[in-house]
Amino acid sequence: MRGVSLLLGSCGVVAAALLWRHLAGQIAVFPGAASIAVRLGLGLAFLLPSAILVWLMLLVQMAARMVTGALDPAAGGDGPFLRTNQRIIGNSVEHGIVFGAGLLALVAGVDAPHMPAIAALCIVFTVCRVTFWAGYLVTPVGRTIGMAPTMAITGVTLGWALMVWAKAAGLV
Protein backbone atom coordinates (compact mmCIF):
# COMPACT_ATOMS: atom_id res chain seq x y z
CA MET A 1 0.00 0.00 0.00
CA ARG A 2 2.84 2.42 0.83
CA GLY A 3 4.53 1.70 -2.48
CA VAL A 4 1.35 2.44 -4.42
CA SER A 5 0.86 5.61 -2.40
CA LEU A 6 4.42 6.79 -3.09
CA LEU A 7 4.09 5.99 -6.78
CA LEU A 8 0.75 7.79 -7.13
CA GLY A 9 2.00 10.77 -5.13
CA SER A 10 5.19 11.03 -7.19
CA CYS A 11 3.22 10.82 -10.44
CA GLY A 12 0.88 13.53 -9.17
CA VAL A 13 3.76 15.87 -8.27
CA VAL A 14 5.46 15.37 -11.65
CA ALA A 15 2.18 15.89 -13.54
CA ALA A 16 1.40 19.02 -11.51
CA ALA A 17 4.88 20.46 -12.16
CA LEU A 18 4.56 19.83 -15.89
CA LEU A 19 1.08 21.35 -16.00
CA TRP A 20 2.29 24.40 -14.02
CA ARG A 21 5.24 24.89 -16.36
CA HIS A 22 2.99 24.70 -19.40
CA LEU A 23 0.34 27.05 -18.01
CA ALA A 24 2.82 29.59 -16.66
CA GLY A 25 4.21 29.99 -20.18
CA GLN A 26 0.73 30.48 -21.66
CA ILE A 27 -0.58 33.21 -19.34
CA ALA A 28 0.22 36.82 -20.21
CA VAL A 29 1.40 39.43 -17.70
CA PHE A 30 -1.64 41.13 -16.21
CA PRO A 31 -2.11 44.84 -17.01
CA GLY A 32 -1.71 47.04 -13.96
CA ALA A 33 -0.07 44.29 -11.90
CA ALA A 34 2.72 46.66 -10.87
CA SER A 35 0.23 47.96 -8.29
CA ILE A 36 0.02 46.01 -5.03
CA ALA A 37 -3.74 46.64 -4.95
CA VAL A 38 -4.15 45.07 -8.39
CA ARG A 39 -1.94 42.10 -7.42
CA LEU A 40 -3.97 41.51 -4.24
CA GLY A 41 -7.19 41.73 -6.25
CA LEU A 42 -5.79 39.27 -8.77
CA GLY A 43 -4.69 36.97 -5.96
CA LEU A 44 -8.24 36.89 -4.62
CA ALA A 45 -9.58 36.28 -8.13
CA PHE A 46 -7.07 33.45 -8.61
CA LEU A 47 -8.60 31.71 -5.57
CA LEU A 48 -12.05 31.68 -7.20
CA PRO A 49 -11.64 28.31 -8.99
CA SER A 50 -10.77 26.52 -5.75
CA ALA A 51 -13.67 28.26 -3.98
CA ILE A 52 -16.02 27.11 -6.75
CA LEU A 53 -14.66 23.57 -6.36
CA VAL A 54 -15.43 23.54 -2.62
CA TRP A 55 -18.92 24.87 -3.41
CA LEU A 56 -19.39 21.99 -5.89
CA MET A 57 -18.25 19.53 -3.22
CA LEU A 58 -20.84 20.97 -0.86
CA LEU A 59 -23.48 20.76 -3.56
CA VAL A 60 -22.65 17.08 -4.17
CA GLN A 61 -22.83 16.44 -0.41
CA MET A 62 -26.22 18.14 -0.20
CA ALA A 63 -27.54 16.23 -3.21
CA ALA A 64 -26.27 12.94 -1.78
CA ARG A 65 -28.08 13.68 1.48
CA MET A 66 -31.30 14.30 -0.44
CA VAL A 67 -30.95 11.13 -2.51
CA THR A 68 -30.04 8.87 0.42
CA GLY A 69 -32.45 10.47 2.88
CA ALA A 70 -29.60 11.06 5.36
CA LEU A 71 -30.76 14.62 6.00
CA ASP A 72 -29.56 14.81 9.61
CA PRO A 73 -25.75 14.48 9.79
CA ALA A 74 -25.95 14.13 13.59
CA ALA A 75 -28.29 11.11 13.38
CA GLY A 76 -25.50 8.75 12.34
CA GLY A 77 -27.09 7.59 9.10
CA ASP A 78 -24.31 8.71 6.78
CA GLY A 79 -23.12 5.99 4.43
CA PRO A 80 -19.54 5.56 3.17
CA PHE A 81 -19.94 8.10 0.35
CA LEU A 82 -21.21 10.86 2.65
CA ARG A 83 -18.49 10.19 5.25
CA THR A 84 -15.72 10.13 2.63
CA ASN A 85 -17.00 13.20 0.82
CA GLN A 86 -17.21 15.10 4.12
CA ARG A 87 -13.56 14.26 4.80
CA ILE A 88 -12.67 15.49 1.31
CA ILE A 89 -14.51 18.76 1.92
CA GLY A 90 -12.84 19.29 5.29
CA ASN A 91 -9.39 18.57 3.91
CA SER A 92 -9.97 20.85 0.92
CA VAL A 93 -11.06 23.72 3.18
CA GLU A 94 -7.99 23.22 5.39
CA HIS A 95 -5.64 23.23 2.41
CA GLY A 96 -7.45 26.16 0.85
CA ILE A 97 -6.94 28.31 3.94
CA VAL A 98 -3.20 27.63 4.14
CA PHE A 99 -2.70 27.99 0.38
CA GLY A 100 -4.82 31.16 0.25
CA ALA A 101 -2.87 32.84 3.06
CA GLY A 102 0.44 32.00 1.42
CA LEU A 103 -0.83 33.12 -1.97
CA LEU A 104 -1.98 36.51 -0.72
CA ALA A 105 1.33 37.07 1.07
CA LEU A 106 3.13 36.11 -2.12
CA VAL A 107 1.17 38.34 -4.52
CA ALA A 108 1.64 41.29 -2.17
CA GLY A 109 5.41 40.95 -2.37
CA VAL A 110 6.27 39.93 -5.94
CA ASP A 111 6.57 42.04 -9.05
CA ALA A 112 4.17 41.94 -12.00
CA PRO A 113 6.10 39.49 -14.23
CA HIS A 114 5.65 36.74 -11.61
CA MET A 115 1.84 36.93 -11.68
CA PRO A 116 1.36 34.46 -14.59
CA ALA A 117 3.33 31.82 -12.67
CA ILE A 118 1.20 32.48 -9.60
CA ALA A 119 -2.03 32.27 -11.62
CA ALA A 120 -0.80 28.92 -12.95
CA LEU A 121 -0.13 27.75 -9.37
CA CYS A 122 -3.78 28.44 -8.51
CA ILE A 123 -5.09 26.56 -11.53
CA VAL A 124 -2.88 23.57 -10.78
CA PHE A 125 -3.86 23.68 -7.09
CA THR A 126 -7.52 23.38 -8.11
CA VAL A 127 -6.80 20.58 -10.59
CA CYS A 128 -4.94 18.71 -7.84
CA ARG A 129 -7.89 19.10 -5.46
CA VAL A 130 -10.21 17.66 -8.14
CA THR A 131 -7.76 14.77 -8.56
CA PHE A 132 -7.68 14.28 -4.78
CA TRP A 133 -11.50 14.24 -4.68
CA ALA A 134 -11.85 11.73 -7.51
CA GLY A 135 -9.04 9.51 -6.26
CA TYR A 136 -10.35 9.42 -2.70
CA LEU A 137 -13.84 8.49 -3.85
CA VAL A 138 -12.37 5.51 -5.73
CA THR A 139 -10.09 4.28 -2.93
CA PRO A 140 -8.35 5.93 0.05
CA VAL A 141 -4.89 5.32 -1.45
CA GLY A 142 -6.13 7.03 -4.64
CA ARG A 143 -6.17 10.35 -2.85
CA THR A 144 -2.37 10.55 -2.87
CA ILE A 145 -2.24 11.42 -6.58
CA GLY A 146 -3.89 14.74 -5.67
CA MET A 147 -2.73 15.14 -2.07
CA ALA A 148 1.02 15.01 -2.75
CA PRO A 149 1.00 17.75 -5.39
CA THR A 150 -1.37 19.84 -3.27
CA MET A 151 1.14 19.67 -0.42
CA ALA A 152 3.98 20.49 -2.81
CA ILE A 153 2.15 23.48 -4.32
CA THR A 154 1.24 24.83 -0.89
CA GLY A 155 4.82 24.33 0.33
CA VAL A 156 6.25 26.08 -2.73
CA THR A 157 3.80 28.97 -2.30
CA LEU A 158 4.61 29.38 1.41
CA GLY A 159 8.36 29.06 0.80
CA TRP A 160 8.29 31.51 -2.10
CA ALA A 161 6.31 34.02 -0.02
CA LEU A 162 8.74 33.61 2.89
CA MET A 163 11.71 34.20 0.58
CA VAL A 164 10.10 37.30 -0.97
CA TRP A 165 9.40 38.80 2.44
CA ALA A 166 12.78 37.81 3.91
CA LYS A 167 14.44 39.57 0.96
CA ALA A 168 12.20 42.64 1.43
CA ALA A 169 13.18 42.73 5.11
CA GLY A 170 16.87 42.53 4.22
CA LEU A 171 17.31 39.12 5.84
CA VAL A 172 18.53 37.47 2.64
* 34-58 pLDDT tens trace: 999 999 999 999 999 999 999 999 9
What is the reported pLDDT for 115? Answer: 97
What is the reported pLDDT for 110? Answer: 96
At 146, the amino acid letter reads: G
The answer to whether residue 6 scores a pLDDT higher than 90 is yes
User: What tens digit of pLDDT does each residue of 53-101 get?
Assistant: 999 999 999 999 999 998 888 888 899 999 999 999 999 999 999 999 9
Q: What is the mean pLDDT of residues 142-162?
A: 97
Residue in 105, 96, 86 with CA at minimum distance from that of residue 161: 105
What is the reported pLDDT for 14? Answer: 98
Which domains, and CATH codes, for the chain? 2-168 (1.20.120.550)
What is the reported pLDDT for 151? Answer: 97
- The structure's pTM equals 0.94
Alpha helices in 27-143 (DSSP H): 36-46, 48-68, 80-109, 115-138
Instruction: Tell me how far CA of residue 156 lies from CA of 26, 62, 69, 87, 163, in angstroms.
Output: 20, 34, 42, 24, 10
What is the reported pLDDT for 121? Answer: 97
Residue 110 — φ and ψ, nearest 5°?
A: -90, 170
Residue 125 pLDDT grade (very low, low, confident, very high; cuts 50, 70, 90)? very high
